[in-house]
Structure 1
Amino acid sequence: MQISKDAVVEFHYTLSEAGEQIESSKDGEPLSYIHGTEGMLPGLEKALEGKAAGDNFSVTLEPSESYGERVDNLIQRIPLKHLQGNTKVWKPGMTAIVHSNQGRHQVTIVKVGRFNADCDLNHPFAGKTLTFDVEVINVRQATADELSHGHVHGEGGCGHSH
C-alpha cells in the first residue's frame, strides 16, 4: 500500500544538520502518524506521499518546511510546575515540554528562578536546514477510531478515556 491520505505510517528516521546527526529513532520505536492530518512536518509529509513499506529515502528541508525561522526574543516566563520532562532540577540549555491552548511545545530553558523559568519558545531546530534519512517500516489504512481521534492507536487501543 502506498502512503496517501488517512494511511497510518510507521517510519524510522535519522535527523542531521550539515552532515552532523542530531537525533535518531533507530534505537527505539518507529514514529507513527496519520498521513494528511497535519500530524507531521509539512515538508516531510510531502516527501512521504506515495512511498511504501521498505522504501528508504533522504529529504532536506528548509526552515519554512520544518520548524520555521527563529524568532529573536521569543522568551516567556513559565511556572516550573508547567514544565514537563525527565528532571526535577531545571538548568539553562535543557529542553522541556509545555502544553498550551495551541498544543504541545518544546521549549529551551534560558534562566531558572524559584517558581518560574524564562523559556525560549523557538523550537530547538527552528532556523535550521535539516536532512531526514527515512526508512518506511509499515503502511496501513487508519481505523475509524483513529481517524475520529486524530492519532494512531497502539496495541489495545489508545489508552485515554473519551
Structure 2
Amino acid sequence: MNIQPNSVVALTYDLYTIENGEEVFVEKADDQNPLVFLYAVGMMLPKFEENLAGLSSGDKYDFQLVADDAYGVKDENAVTELPLDMFGEMEKPEIGSVLPLQDDEGNQFRAQVKNVSDTGVTVDLNHPMAGQDLHFIGTIISVREATEEELTHGHAHGADGQSGH
C-alpha cells in the first residue's frame, strides 16, 4: 500500500539540522521505536508528509526541508519575560530548560529559559528548531489503512493498530 490520506505510517528516521553548512545529528527513530502517525491529519509538518506521499513499505527516503517549510524562521519578538512570582514555590528554572506553558485559551506550548533574574524568567517561545533547515533520512517500515477508531480519534494507535488503552 502506498502512503495516502487516512493511512497509518511507521518509519525510521535520522534527523539532522544544517548549521553553517554542517550537518548536526539531532535525533532518530529506529526499528525498535519507530515514528508511527496517521497521515494527512495535520499532526506532522506538511512538507514532511509531502515528501513521503506515494512511498510504500521498504522505500528509503532522503530529503531536506528549509526552515520556512519546517518550524519557520526565528521570531526575535517571541522572547518575553515571565514574572518570577508566577512560579510560586517552585525552584527557579534553570537556563536552557524547557517549560511547559499554557495560554488563556488552554493551548499548550513550550518555552526555553534564556535568563533568570531576581524578578523574572526570560523565555524564548520559538520552537527549538525554528530558523533551522532539516535533513531527514529513513525507511518506511509499514503502511496500512487506518481503522475507524483511529480516524475517529484523529491519531494512530501504533504500527499494528492496537491502542493499548
Question: CA RMSD, aligned part only?
Answer: 2.7
Could you tell me the percent identity over the aligned residues? 29
* TM-score, scaled to structure 1: 0.80
CA change 1:71–1:28 in 2 (3 A) is: farther
Determine the C-alpha separation between the residues in 1 that align with 2:76 and 2:153: 35
Q: Between Structure 1 and Structure 2, how many residues are aligned?
A: 153
Aligned counterpart, 1:6:
6
Stretch of structure 1 that moved more, 26-35 or 50-59: 26-35
CA distance in 1, matches of 2:142, 2:75: 36
Distance 2:119 2:150 in 1: 39
Q: Aligned residue for 2:67?
A: 63
Partner residue in 1 for 2:56:
52
1:6 CA drift (Å): 0.5
Change (3 A) 1:22 1:114: same
Which residue of the partner structure matches residue 127 of structure 2? 123
In structure 1, the residue matched to 2:34 is: 30
Correspondence for 1:91 among 82, 91, 94? 94
Conserved in 1, the CA contact under 8 Å of 2:92 and 2:116?
no
Q: Which has the larger radius of gyration?
A: 2
For 1:25 and 1:152, how far apart are their aligned partners in 2?
16
8 Å CA contact 2:150–2:157 kept in 1: the answer is yes
Question: Structure 1: which 5+ runs fail to align?
Answer: 82-87
Identify unmatched segments of 5+ residues in structure 2. none
The TM-score, its normalising length taken from structure 2, stands at: 0.79
Instruction: Confirm or deny: 8 A CA contact 2:9 2:144 kept in the other structure.
Output: yes
Alignment map for 1:128-147 (pairs within 5 Å):
128-147=132-151
Note if 1:157 corresponds to 2:163: yes
